[in-house]
Amino acid sequence: MSSLFESIKQGLNEAIQYEQGNLPNVKVDKITVAPLHAYNGVQIKEIRTQQNMTQRLFAEALGVSVKTVEAWETGTNKPSGTANRMLELLAQDNKLLERYSIVERN
């Protein structure tokens, strides 16, 4: 138990030293995340049609219900953060679903 306490105490002290700028040899990677785009119904339908998919196929590929895709496209409902990020990826890469073997086109 004493060893665990000492380890936690050392980690906290290092965190304080780092925050105060007293650990010059520590490598830090700064990561920024792009803001989420909020897609509207017209844009979602456009992404789906660019995928050449019915609402049913699109819903299956995204792991949501057909009713969810219908609600998105009519503006009754809005996609969640995760769904918005997936829509963004699909808008940027039309072959994403194929590349990751989510869909197979014959």
| pLDDT tens digits in sequence order for the chain, 106 residues long | 678 888 898 888 888 888 887 877 777 778 999 999 999 999 999 999 999 999 999 999 999 999 999 999 999 999 999 999 999 999 999 999 999 999 998 8
Rounded to two decimals, what is the model's pTM? 0.74
In order of start, what are the domains of the chain with their CATH numbers? 41-99 (1.10.260.40)
* DSSP for residue 37: P
Q: Phi/psi zone of residue 101: left (φ > 0), alpha (ψ -120 to 50 degrees), beta?
A: left
Please state, in angstroms and as integers, the Cα–Cα distance from residue 9 to each residue in 18, 31, 64, following that order: 14, 27, 46
Please state, in angstroms and as integers, the Cα–Cα distance from residue 41 to each residue in 36, 66, 76, 86, 91, following that order: 16, 14, 9, 15, 14
User: Do 78 and 97 touch, CB atoms closer than 8 A?
Assistant: no
